[in-house]
Structure 1
Amino acid sequence: MTAPFILVSDCDLPGTVIEDTLRQAGLRAERAASGSAEDIADLGREAEGLVVQWAQITGEVMDRMPKLRIISRVGIGYDMVDVAAATARGIAVANTPSYCIEEVAAHTIAMIMTQARGIPAYDRAVRAGTWKAVEAHPLAVRPSATTVSVLGFGRIGSMVARGCRALGFRVLVADPYAAVESVREAGCEPVGIPDAVAQADILTLHVPLTDDTHHLIDAAVLATMKAGAVLVNTCRGPLIDEVALATSLRAGQLGAAALDVFEEEPLAADSPLRDLDQVLLTPHAAWYSPQALADLPVHAAENIIRFLAGETVPIVNPVFATAL
């Protein structure tokens, strides 16, 4: 009996860990020449599994892979896969939600504290010869007098919320899918999204990117935030309308932002965000540690292995998952 064939559409991580892990489990595995639809289809006709990082997997791509049973995303987000199309075709979609929870939560809290204490501005001032503790921008805060609003109380959002609470911040949580009791047990206050946004001194995003959450933070929402508030995003870039964000920062409505993810990556050389001193930028690096780098490709491959063996994997199309 021929072993199932698994196609890797694309992956920018070093090495061939995905293919090696699949082959060690007795599966056949190859990588497409590129993440284009044509290159995926060229090898994909016999594929029962597909591992994808950044390639766009549409219904049309799936139709050219008639034996496909599961798509495994190398990462937590899965907006590059048309999950509705996969569900309609009986294809499971899995992600790797646990490989970097600690890293992203730590990066988020580091960004929150860096902006809350005005550290970038202090650093620039000292290097320029200024020695004035009272000129932080935005104003350095006392945690107990500061409200952090967390949108999304999943694995990462809940860790960020608990971490901020441990540091003394008042923490509001907006997540319609989270149990109110769980939020309160973490020492946080459950609220709706409008209240979370309006009351936030610091707003941090931890929600999936969907059609409903695209540009969740737009000009209208930014206008409801407190003057001088800080926006943090280590989740998905398109949650924020970056043009509206730059406009709000320039006008002095929003005080600062800390961003690890962007609408287009790498961040364009002419992005207005690059010219704003009150914006802290990192290169989609919140996920990274040597341990996470080692875990990620293995987790993505193991999703395929376990699924084909009839074991439980983190399926993101729940309607289909209930039928497995």
Structure 2
Amino acid sequence: MSIRNIVGHFIGTISVIIYFFNTVFWVIPIVILSFLKLIPIKSWQKLVSYPLDGCATAWIGVNNLNQRITSNTQWDVEGVETLTLNDWYLVTSNHQSWVDILVLQRIFNRKIPFLKFFLKKELIWVPFLGIAWWALDFPFMSRHSKSFLAKNPHLKGKDMESTRKACEKFSTKPVSIMNFVEGTRLTEEKLKRINGPYKHLLKPKAGGMAFVLSAMGNQLHKFLDVTIYYPEGIPSFWDFVCGRVKKIQVKVRILSVEDILNSDAFGMDYFDNPEQRARFQRWLNQLWSEKDHTLTTMSSSK
């Protein structure tokens, strides 16, 4: 093993240790505040949510400092100049590696509200994490399968209704909702097996985004279309913490959620109307074609 590799592994180990202790440090106040938020007074819960988000933001801030200290990655980021903490965002991105999460947290930290994901309602029972996610206002979705609804038709629409109710807290407090529409991380094997229309992307799945828009469309203002590109190839988490990722390019495009909702592409009857589903899928496919073209341009200029 060369000296360069030994140094890289040493840096990676130090970086992972910092990530670990930083996470443990901030998990403690988050869990304590989570139990305080159980007090069923809305004004109190809203008040407690601010230091909770502050803890999560500080956790990301220390992670970002860790990255600056342990790596010399060059960051080329476009499109974040006009973002604010006082707006409501729906965010999507191509998904290639677990590093994508760190990239998104780094470029958006303190620029937009803390990124949150829709979670299955069953995850609320995960020890400690479940209550932490709940306290951090990660929206829990309630989805019934088609077979279940066929046996219980009186429950049709109840899942969306319960999710909308769970998201009411976001009407007065800005939020950023993250959704990876590809549904899984990109690999060369998946790209070849699927044999889709895109050179750099997997086929997008409209259901998740449609669910978010149906449940929260009137509360969200801006749609952030994020394109992440790694000029040297898709890195692993270990590559990243060892400082082997020399450059990361990110382009952010801002669209209006209102324009999407008012266009022919999307309708509130998405889940009941096959024609509406097809229109929205075509709109998302077009968005993905543009993203694929952007990635082709970025790869040709490296």
Normalising by structure 2, report the TM-score: 0.27
Larger CA Rg, structure 1 vs 2: 1
Pick the structure with more helix per residue.
Answer: 2
Larger RCO, structure (CA 8 Å, separation 6 or more): 2
